[in-house]
Amino acid sequence: MKQTGKVITKLSFLPMAAGVSGQTRNFNQSTGDLLYKATFADSSTGIYKVVFP
């Protein structure tokens, strides 16, 4: 079986905005968005946005 995709070696969640308490959040509750940065085994990186309905 041929493998597709890349192997993630590091995953970091990125802050979206400051909350009421002034602390940054990784998940934006009003829009349902989550941002993260992936580092792959080949040393490439990418920033991705997940949108929850």
Residue 37 tokens, joined: 């940065």
Q: pLDDT tens-digit profile of 1-53? A: 566 688 999 988 877 655 555 555 565 656 667 788 899 999 999 988 888 77
Domain extents for the chain? 8-51
Nearest to 8 by CA among 39, 50, 37: 39
Overall pTM surpassing 0.75 (yes/no):
no
